A and B are shown apart, each in its own frame.
Chain A
Amino acid sequence: MLFNPRAFYRSYDRPQKGHEKVPSWTIEKHRDSPLNATRVESERLRHAAPTEFRYIFPEFLPHPDWKKRDRVAEKLQRRDMLRRRLVLDIPEFYVGSILGVTVADQHVPSKQSRFVGICIHRDGHGLRANFTLRNHIDGQGVEIKYDLYNPTLQNIEVLKLEKRLDEELFYLRDAPATHSTITFDRKPETLPLGATVPVNMKKIPLNPPPWTQRWEKREDLKGIDLPELPEKRMRKLSQIVKPWEKYDLMKEYRKNISEEEQNEIFKEVVQHHTRVEKKRHQERLKRMT
């Protein structure tokens, strides 16, 4: 028989007499369609990771430059990172938080050495993730960079969880020592459950120049209280300043990983988070009370 398109499509759109029920594959296709307005939002969200994960686990996000990416290596590294997190509790912290790090040291009688400092920088992707702590000890400024997933790291304790106005605090090198001094026997301060991480709006006054970097040229740093500088030095600023950068959408796009890809990555972290982190938090609460 010849194919009759009119008869075929009539039956497709309109169910035949006696067969008023819509075929099940049509219903499924409609249910999964992104154009379906009645689709339940919670069903979609159930499979998406919390948006805070990109700030709590920034090292899980890959390098934004696609030329430096290796998907297989990233997946293997993420697996190793989660395995390490099963052994060691790597807490949520930000630049500006005060951390105490205990490291294995064979030359010490107790085989452990502890360093306390303010986190001035956080860098690296995957297993290369690192953070730098700064402190002033006996009148000497000291900075130590730690690899987050280094197996000789025995304990990472957040003594004060807070953020600052900037993503890096290298200007503390040119600030009075009081702003980088943290006592080693500082007691940890805990935030109430569900509280947002507080932002310390402190503006650091700098020492008189010369500085390690030309901080007046860094218009992105909000946490500096710049002193009076000679007019000649400030005159050159107008040639360097780039006010159009904040409108550069492509720059923002190139710097970040897309939300769809972030969800794919953090799906693996969600399983770990729900199983292990909640249990650890309960243990922490038991220890405090």
Chain B
Amino acid sequence: MSAAARYFHSRAVTLGLCTRNNTRHFSTSLPLCELRHMSRVNVVDNSDLGKNAKTSGKPARIVHVYNKQGVAGIGDKVLLALEKQKVKGIIVGCKQKQKPMVPKFDSNNVVLIDEEDTPMGSRINVPIPSVLRKKEELAKILAISSRFV
């Protein structure tokens, strides 16, 4: 590769562009870590369904996001597919880059809920973002949380 080609290749690598040799370059986005359809999530309450999903090797996947955007953020309700069932859940932690003062977690966390918005577990051992306290509909989930961040 010539010096110029090497330079452009390294620029492409830094910008996250496609770097296959001898091809036209096309743009790829940087990892946004958005929670969409088929995103894998980590169930953080102590419900049996959640524990089984972790140990079975088939993590819970988002099957529908209950908002207009199709991208789930902290506090959004989602429909999950786990253990061959459809279960609703609330996102309580995102890997996605957040606004200032909102915590960003290392894993995408979700709490399972039933049709009446009652959590299926009895305890959440993982820290929950304090911004969720604004939402009255999540009061039952906040009641079983151990720690706020």
Give me the interface of A with B, judged by CB distance under 8 Å. Answer: 103, 105, 107-108, 113, 115, 130, 137-147, 150, 152, 173, 212, 217, 239-240, 242
Contact = CB atoms under 8 A, between A and B. Distances in A.
B121 interface: no
A140 B13 contact: no
Of B9, B103, B107, the most chain A CB neighbours within 10 A belong to B103
Closest 10 CB pairs of A and B: A141-B106, A107-B133, A143-B104, A140-B126, A145-B100, A137-B127, A144-B103, A240-B10, A147-B100, A142-B103
15 contacts: A107-B133, A107-B134, A130-B100, A140-B93, A140-B106, A140-B127, A141-B105, A142-B127, A143-B103, A147-B100, A147-B101, A150-B100, A173-B106, A239-B1, A239-B10
Given A108-B130, A173-B106, A138 B101 contact: no
Interface string B91-114: 001000011111111110100000
Nearest to A132: B104
Of A140, A145, A173, A242, the most chain B CB neighbours within 10 A belong to A140
A142 B130 contact: no
A113 B130 contact: yes
Contact of B127 (A103, A138, A212, A239): A138
A115 B100 CA distance: 13
A108 B131 CA distance: 11
B130 A137 contact: no
B89 to A, nearest CB: 17
B149 A137 contact: yes
Contacts of A141: 105-107
B51 interface: no
Contact of A138 (B6, B98, B100, B146): B146
B125 A240 contact: no
B126 to A, nearest CB: 5
Contacts of B130: 105, 107-108, 113
Given A143-B104, A146-B101, 7 more contacts: A115-B149, A138-B147, A139-B126, A140-B105, A140-B126, A142-B104, A150-B101
Given A108-B130, A139-B126, A173-B106, A217 B13 contact: yes
B103 A146 contact: no
Contacts of B107: 140-141
Nearest to A145: B100
B98 to A, nearest CB: 7
B100 A239 contact: no
B140 to A, nearest CB: 16
A144 B127 CA distance: 13
Interface in B4-28: 6, 9-10, 13
B66 interface: no
A152 B101 contact: yes
A4 to B, nearest CB: 67
